[in-house]
Amino acid sequence: MNDERAMQQQPGRTPAPPHLKDGPGPGSPEAAALDATWRDPPGLLGWLAAVNHKAIARRFIVTTFCFFVAGGLLAFVMRLQLARPGARLVGPDLYNQLFTMHGSTMMFLFAVPVMQAVAVYLLPLMLGTRSVAFPRLNAFAYWIFLFGGLMLYAVFALGAAPDVGWFSYVPLAGPDYSPGKRTDFWAQMITFTELSALLEAIVVITTVFKLRAPGMALNRIPLFAWAMLVTAFMVLFAMPAVMLASTTLITDRLVGTHFYNPAEGGDAVLWQHLFWFFGHPEVYLIFLPGLGFLSAIIPTFARRPIFGYTAMVLALIATAFLAFGLWVHHMFAVNLPELGKSFFTAASMLIAIPSAVQIFCWIATLCSGRLDFKTPLLFALGFFFILVLGGLTGIMLASVPLDLQVHDSYFVVAHLHYVLIGGAVFPLFGAFYYWYPKITGRLMSERLGRWNFWLFFVGFNVTFFPMHLLGLRGMPRGVYTYQAGLGWDTLNLVATLGSWIIALSALLFVVNALRSLRRGAPAGPNPWGAGTLEWATESPPPPCNFHAIPVVHGRDPLWEPPRAAADGGPPPFTHVGGLAAHTRELLATTVLDARPDLRVNFPDPTIWPLVSALAVTVLFIGSIFTPWAVVWGSIPIAIALTAWFWPRRAETAVHLRLEQGP
């Protein structure tokens, strides 16, 4: 009776008889029931209520990619302005908005969220489960992110974008030197995106710890999942610093607190400490997922398991710890005690060791493998050239005396693009080519992929290598123009030409991605012959991911078949059966050994995460203009969250029945 009511309340869902359990393969009534259970409801309302991790992640990936393109276009305009000395294409006001928007977009609206978005898609598939943990929270995090990003671009369109750099140093960003609301929009965008990132970190950590397929002990987790786990922990510790910083900046600006006002006992350098305590880990929480991509791509295309799995995991963890101990290398030009700076020099240089461990392990893997030169591997190889070069200039910047010369010059611009594009964007493009067939069911064109890679690789180096030289020749960063006769003209022109090549390459990528949606060759479940679990299911995966939860026997479950029974008979454990097919029931496993632990009931789709996100958006944007928004804005949030968490009678009944069952 209760069950029937549950089904009536969810229009559009094919009711499945409650006695069906999962287990059998595709095509069976059980599989159909599972798919119906895990599918998001149809229609516009259903689209808005979606909680399936793949649906949310697809939107998330597309959104971040749109921001990536937007941020790239801003950079393109900047390069046009800097192509020749004294150009008047854009004035200082617009230029300063452009570079602030470019940096903020790439850091906050692209690099961190895109990694989390890809993780939200892949982790349940890689770990052998049907959802991320907290699917509604996951949806909420996406909406919050979307609204924060849209707000920033809305004010840009209105000509009121922030213009004090993505680092927003006070006092320049304070009330005295940045009147108006520009900086407040920036600070509030931080609040939006960091909230989203923190929530996603919780989703990722819980998913990796509790929802792995039975048998996937901690020492068998795919390295990408390890990288995301470590990244998520870094987010938990890094993001609060910048949320604190941006919130105190807003209160300085809105209600006259004086956290950063030296005239009233505040401190301008405090901002830098808080910002870089987040800002340096930020670099690594962009970089570590990139390493995770490579650790997925390289073994597949070297046709062997990764060399040095344990060393790789420990290197990731070591990087995460060290990353919190070197923020001061962004502040060497500040008058800080010299001895203290030496400590940060040492920490900044030593963080190269864990990265070196991973690079050497990959080379060892490639060396002893049998190589399949496909586009994802090309992008992985591009990483070696670019990231290693960027890492070495990073070692230069770690040294106090060298940094004092090249700090805040174009040398740093070159360095950070080598590290971030080499360390994150090349692996990400590789990952895109690698998992595109899983997400869409079709392969991307290899021919266009190669063009895409080579143009990007060449264009990148043509654009950014000359910037090292510009920095050494004294060109500071953040300048909207420069005078003729300083010896910077030719190098700048070359850099601008390179940016055209990058733009062409990005265009090819978009063409390839869109064209392959319809015209790509059908991929099948495992086009690359890879070993991790996401390749065990169909491409694109069915709504429930797996019709039967697999049991894992090794690090590359598809390469290492289940062990035979003791008596030599067929393997006794290949799949888990017995989870309910008519409701969203999942198996939670223990953190260390992934032993089956609990059956957990997951929530159904609902519109309330979206409504809550809208309510939070109203509060966040309102509080840019008046502190009262915090008071009145919290009421709709309270209502929306109450509705979100209010237990539904019918749902509870279903869950209780399962609990009573055998």
Partner 1 sequence: MDALHDVLAPFGPQAGHVHALWMLTLAVCTAVFAAVLAALLVALLRAQRAGAESAPDLSSLGRPEPGRRRSVIAAVAASTLLLLALIAASIFTDRALARLSTDGALRLEVTAHQWWWEVRYVEPQVADSFMTANEIHVPTGRPVIVTLKADDVIHSFWVPSLAGKKDLIPGRTATLNFRADRDGIYRGQCAEFCGSQHALMAFFVLAEPPERYAAWAAAQRRTAGEPAEGQPLRGREIFMRSSCAMCHAIDGTSAQAVRGPNLTHLASRSTLAAGSLANTPEDLRRWIADPQQVKPGTYMPATRLSSEDMDALVGYLQTLR
Site for partner 1 in 128-167 (CB under 8 A): 163-165
Is 287 one of the binding residues for partner 1 (CB under 8 A)?
Answer: no
Structure tokens at 645: 């968490």
State the minimum distance, in angstroms, from the CB of residue 660 to partner 1. Answer: 44
State the minimum distance, in angstroms, from the CB of residue 136 to partner 1. Answer: 38
| 19/88 with CB nearer partner 1 | 88
Task: Assess contact for 291 and 308: CB atoms under 8 A.
Answer: no
Task: Assess contact for 548 and 33: CB atoms under 8 A.
Answer: no
The interface mask with partner 1, positions 593-632, x = CB under 8 A, is ----------------------------------------
Q: Quick check: bond before 171 cis, omega within 30? A: yes
Distance CA 454, CA 657 (A): 58
Candidates 210, 253, 477, 547: give the one binding partner 1 (CB under 8 A): 477
Residue 152's nearest CA partner among 95, 101, 213, 111 is 101
* Sole window of 140-148, 181-189, 524-532, 600-608 interacting with partner 1 (rule: CB under 8 A): 524-532
Is 525 one of the binding residues for partner 1 (CB under 8 A)?
Answer: no
The interface mask with partner 1, positions 430-469, x = CB under 8 A, is ----------------------------------------
Residue 617's nearest CA partner among 96, 277, 143 is 143
Distance CA 501, CA 484 (A): 25
State the minimum distance, in angstroms, from the CB of residue 338 to partner 1. Answer: 6
Q: Helices 426-440 and 375-398: crossing angle, nearest 10°?
A: 150
- Tokens 């493009």 belong to which residue? 429
| 135/279 with CB nearer partner 1 | 279
Instruction: Extract the runs of DSSP E, i.e. beta strands, from 433-563.
Output: 549-550
Query: Residue 149 CB: number of other CB atoms within 10 A?
Result: 25
Show contacts with partner 1 in window 390-419 (CB under 8 A): 392-393, 395-396, 398-409
Show contacts with partner 1 in window 289-318 (CB under 8 A): 302-305, 307-308, 311
State the minimum distance, in angstroms, from the CB of residue 19 to partner 1. Answer: 41
| 353/511 with CB nearer partner 1 | 353
Show contacts with partner 1 in window 13-52 (CB under 8 A): none
Is 361 one of the binding residues for partner 1 (CB under 8 A)?
Answer: yes
Distance CA 148, CA 105 (A): 11
State the minimum distance, in angstroms, from the CB of residue 330 to partner 1. Answer: 11
State the minimum distance, in angstroms, from the CB of residue 454 to partner 1. Answer: 16
State the minimum distance, in angstroms, from the CB of residue 432 to partner 1. Answer: 18
Distance CA 425, CA 635 (A): 41
Identity of residue 648: R
Candidates 8, 9, 219, 342: give the one binding partner 1 (CB under 8 A): 342
| 61/398 with CB nearer partner 1 | 398
| 344/620 with CB nearer partner 1 | 344
Distance CA 217, CA 239 (A): 29
Structure tokens at 307: 């060399």
Show contacts with partner 1 in window 91-110 (CB under 8 A): 91-93, 96
Candidates 70, 107, 211, 366: give the one binding partner 1 (CB under 8 A): 366
Q: Quick check: bond before 540 cis, omega within 30? A: yes
| 148/437 with CB nearer partner 1 | 437
State the minimum distance, in angstroms, from the CB of residue 427 to partner 1. Answer: 15
Tell me how many residues contact partner 1 (CB under 8 A).
96
Helix/strand/coil (H/E/C) assignment for every residue in 112-165: HHHHHHHHHHHHHHHHCCCCCCCHHHHHHHHHHHHHHHHHHHHHHHCCCCCCCC
Distance CA 191, CA 616 (A): 11
Task: Assess contact for 421 and 68: CB atoms under 8 A.
Answer: no
Candidates 36, 66, 479, 653: give the one binding partner 1 (CB under 8 A): 479
* Sole window of 191-199, 332-340, 415-423, 509-517 interacting with partner 1 (rule: CB under 8 A): 332-340
Is 639 one of the binding residues for partner 1 (CB under 8 A)?
Answer: no
Residue 113's nearest CA partner among 73, 148, 165 is 148
Cross-strand partners of 587:
599
Task: Assess contact for 231 and 198: CB atoms under 8 A.
Answer: no
Distance CA 552, CA 10 (A): 35
State the minimum distance, in angstroms, from the CB of residue 480 to partner 1. Answer: 5
* Sole window of 114-122, 244-252, 452-460, 470-478 interacting with partner 1 (rule: CB under 8 A): 470-478
Is 352 one of the binding residues for partner 1 (CB under 8 A)?
Answer: yes
Distance CA 252, CA 260 (A): 7
Distance CA 188, CA 633 (A): 15
Instruction: Look up residue 422 and give its DSSP letter.
Output: I
| 56/297 with CB nearer partner 1 | 297
Candidates 19, 44, 157, 338: give the one binding partner 1 (CB under 8 A): 338
* Sole window of 85-93, 565-573, 592-600, 630-638 interacting with partner 1 (rule: CB under 8 A): 85-93
Q: CA angle, 551 as apex, 546 and 552 as ends, to 5°?
A: 110
Is 478 one of the binding residues for partner 1 (CB under 8 A)?
Answer: yes
State the minimum distance, in angstroms, from the CB of residue 345 to partner 1. Answer: 6
Show contacts with partner 1 in window 203-262 (CB under 8 A): 262
